[in-house]
Structure 1
């Protein structure tokens, strides 16, 4: 066992530098009723897969700083990163790896408020590299408390808490990376680079370009730069997936002191390629996956170099309502920068995927579908992002966006008082309402049995799949009976522009008319095909299991068969009821299944 305490020196220096009395930092205090828990996001994974391990402190009081000592099986796991879970405002972290031991420290600074209760302290990410059982061991935790009466007090808690992860053997033709030797280096670095990072050429590891960024101490931004030659070589080696898309993966090592990470590259890399070329930028603060047509608009033509930037957002300007809603959960800032300036990027035709590591609480793990993403607009308003979801396998919250800004993780549990008689739809309604996709007829009532109108279903369909009619002629997207003042005008017009709806003749849509179950399913099939989630056709025999399949209209049969084959249509009591009016509860169940379809 290596001697611990390396980072306690760092924490002590940080405290002293904030004009706190040095003679208090080493004071010992009596034992407290404090315990620590270690949890993993997955008990098993394959070589190359990643697992998140969370450290939680129970019954903590007046917490000001802490250091964790964690040992892991370096023969089977590679340490990737460690991120503190508590608020980043008025705080500093320090992480160090010595051989097979991670030292992760965190401290408030100055007069920042202390934390109390059962708290998530750190999230550690490991990547599997060799088959077998890998043990991760929390050896000890050093806790610093601060009170008005006694100032700073320190106590070391021996913990001896373990969690094991089983790494599966590589499949046929697979391989397992060789284990690196013992080293003493900054987190994530492939070689010692100093606390602020240094200029280093990208190193290709298993098809991934690993970069050590340079830290600009004035701005707190660590920048990795990719030249044309390295880009071309990486693109040539990238393997196409089933859809023909190629992804270049750029990974940044962690740099102590960095508040944001920026990937600098030629604007042509994001301007001259199509959506079938993607760039995945993995940083200690999160991942950005951008399509090669992200900057294909005229406004970006003059730029030579651009930076995609991700980091912790500044909380100081947020309202109390926002802060209370989010709590200590992460708020990530995603930006495009060039020529020393930040730009407002938006491109409805080129959605970008963002992933952020997150360790849910016990309650959140039980109801993980209620972990949501909120876009915080320039006015401080919170707007739900329908695609936001938590993946327990990766330990990340992922969402898609067509514009960059600040995005926060939140936990929302919305319900309605009139769902007791609808157990088959209750979960689906509550999840969609928590994600901001559907609303009740009132604050407390959903009216699940009420028939849904054509315009309302189209609105929900467009919102669920985050579709827009951008780039289509406005004149071609207008129905005579859809008023520009109607709340559903943009959704219906966009659906028409995309070819999802054709209307009912005489250039009319009949927005207030209720929609039948079969028409609801036709619109769903068209939208799923447009997004690539539903491909090909299915035999009409897919409907044979329904007693009333002969009642399905001819123009609907193929689409219903495809949806039934995909598991989206299950009917009721062995019947489709194709001509019946679709109820709001039925619409919610269909939308929920659609939202959870894999691409």
Structure 2
């Protein structure tokens, strides 16, 4: 009986609480609904497919309203602040948007209006596609629309002819439907990444191109696709994750951005001192710039490099030493510095390089040499090529000191530079001062697990590095660069009479480098305990650079 009474008391208590909540909430809901009816009107929204444009429009008696779009799981997809009395906004549904019912809430506090719409996955495209999704401010009505085609396993978005504006720039806007159709056609590579080419038209006398794309296609959280923008000035391949989390919102202000524009322009090396201008000569110079919703931004992301290719026909002299064709970055003050990844690709007839920020870039031909290389003729080419590209430096402008040992700090600096490694919040060692030129490189190597130091939070940057230490660091760095080496075996070390001297921690690394051909030893020995020389290091760096 007591158990029954206790149960009834709990039941009555629950019912009382529920009734109390209803009594308190219903008036508030009713007041909110009537206020919403009076102050915010939201137009109906039709059902959509992924990649579609969603327009949010209506009227309000409020000075401003907040627009929120919720995903089917009730997480926030989009937010903006609009001014009354009439408001209109739009955004592009991401290609990877979840299917289901999306909710749009517009208003402020209790004064809100709500609409919902259903999103379905866009059907996969067939072999070709032609439709809307194209905007050109100078286009004539009835002009040809862009076409998406797949040929020889590659997908290309072909943009019809447009007219250059008064500034000589050809402006093209491509919307989500076109890009999504191309990505649906593209086959993923071995890493699951799809690539489409957007080919922009040419016009004699034009100075450059501006292409505008929906923001979400190059602001994804991970790399799922690339968009290759091809122009007569050059080709720029944009990774789908080229913006870090929060970057776009910071660039655009309070509202999430809708459009991102890339500018590719031919330039003259104006403002340079006589020496750089003379070295560039009549070789091509291009300027790359980016804007978000019409606002210029200083894009910079070391974790998502952009690949650039500039068409170039080397001279007869340059063809004799094509490895000395490289790239310089030109800053806003006209100063130059090497872009270490710059190299000529004869198959494509272009100079290719990677950048993590936008500016002006020039093709150059640099033949750097040192007066003391005769003592190490086997390393001379590697030293000269790597010095010409700005990867390595001499001990002075005329001397390299090839037989001297290299320090741990200098080797890490070369390794990080050559492989283009980056890491958030590099972890410092106690004996690496923040003012040291190698501070960032050593921190990156530690963060990525390439080096753990020598114990007690020390790195000993000024100590010389042994050959087996160097090979171990290279093996780990190749993993960090997503270029892992195939595992070696003990039999790969059997040709060396001193293989027993290799420390247990280094044996796998040394075997892998021997198997890959990066390390060949000297005669019948590999000298694992010897200090690595500057000449040996240059040869290894040269091989890594070209791998």
The TM-score with structure 2 as length reference comes to 0.70
Alignment check: 8 A CA contact 1:306 1:338 kept:
yes
Question: Aligned residue for 2:113?
Answer: none
Equivalent in the alignment of 1:404:
358
Unaligned runs of 5+ in 1: 1-195
Query: 2:149 aligned with 1:201, yes or no?
Result: no
Task: Work out which of the residue numbers 334, 349, 352 in structure 1 matches 2:306.
Answer: 352
Q: Give CA deviations for 1:53-96 in whole Å, capped at 9, x if unaligned.
A: xxxxxxxxxxxxxxxxxxxxxxxxxxxxxxxxxxxxxxxxxxxx
Contact 2:261 / 2:294 at 8 angstroms: preserved in 1? no
Mapped to 1, the partners of 2:441 and 2:465 lie a distance apart of 16
Q: Give matches, 1:96-175, under 5 Å.
A: none
Q: Is the 8 A contact 1:481 1:508 kept in 2?
A: yes
1:281 maps to what in 2? Answer: 229
Contact 2:289–2:358, Cα closer than 8 Å, also in 1: yes
Instruction: State the distance in 2 between where 1:202 and 1:357 align.
Output: 24
Q: Which residue of 1 aligns with 2:195?
A: 247
Computing the radius of gyration over CA atoms, which structure comes out larger, 1 or 2? 2
Report the secondary structure of 1:462's partner residue.
helix
For the residues of structure 2 that align with 1:457 and 1:533, how far apart are their CA atoms? 19
Cα distance in 2 between the residues matched to 1:325 and 1:297: 40
Question: Where do residues 381-400 of structure 1 align in structure 2 (5 Å cutoff)?
Answer: 381-400=335-354
Give 1:416 deviation, angstroms.
0.6
Question: Which position in structure 1 is the counterpart of 2:476?
Answer: 526
Is this contact kept in 2: 1:452–1:514, CA < 8 A?
yes
SS in 2 for 1:445: coil
Select between 584-593 and 417-426 the one with higher mean Cα deviation.
Answer: 417-426
Correspondent of 1:549 among 490, 493, 499? 499
Which residue in 2 is equivalent to 1:303? 257
Are the equivalent residues in 2 in contact too, given 1:448–1:583 (CA < 8 A)?
Answer: yes
Counterpart residue number, 2:378? 424
Which 5+ residue runs of structure 2 have no aligned equivalent? Answer: 1-137, 250-255
- Aligned residue pairs, count: 400
Runs of 4+ in 1 over 4 A off after TM superposition: 196-199
CA contact (8 A) 1:274 1:292 kept: yes
**Residue in 1 that maps onto 2:437:** 487
How is 1:508-527 mapped onto 2 (pairs within 5 angstroms)? 508-527=458-477
Q: Could you list the per-position Cα deviations for residues 545-588 of structure 1 after superposition, in whole angstroms to 9, with x for gaps in the alignment?
A: 22222221111111111111211011111211011100000000
Distance in 1, matches of 2:269 and 2:363, equals 13
**1:197–1:521 Cα change, 3 Å:** farther
Quick check: 2:386–2:542 contact (8 Å CA) kept in 1?
A: yes
Cα distance, 1:485 vs structure 2: 2.0
Greater share of residues in helix:
2
The 3 A distance-change label for structure 1 pair 259 and 594 is same
1:215 aligned to 2:163? yes
Matched, 1:294 2:248: no
1:566 and 1:263 map into 2 onto residues whose CA distance is 42
C-alpha distance in 1 between matches for 2:258 and 2:147: 24
* In 2, Cα distance between equivalents of 1:270 and 1:542: 44
| Aligned position for 2:32 | none
SS at match of 2:373: coil
Give the structure 1 partner of residue 88 of structure 2: none
> Cα distance 1:323–1:356, how it changes in 2: closer, same or farther (>3 A)?
same
Which one scores higher on RCO, CA 8 angstroms, separation ≥ 6? 1
Structure 2 CA distance for partners of 1:213 and 1:268, relative to 1, 3 Å: farther
Aligned match for 2:453, one of 503, 511, 515: 503
1:536 deviates by 4.3
Contact (CA 8 Å) 2:148, 2:178: kept in 1 or not? no
Are 1:286 and 1:311, in contact at CA under 8 Å, matched by a contact in 2? no
Out of 282, 286, 304, the residue aligned to residue 332 of structure 1 is: 286
Contact kept? 2:485, 2:513, Cα under 8 Å: no
C-alpha change, 1:448 and 1:407, in structure 2 (3 Å) is same
Q: State which of 204, 210, 213 in structure 2 corresponds to 1:262.
A: 210
Residue-by-residue CA offset, 1:314-369 (whole Å, 9 max, x unaligned)? 43333333311200001111111233343211111110000000011111011000
Higher strand share: 1
Residue aligned with 2:374, SS: coil
Normalising by structure 1, report the TM-score: 0.64
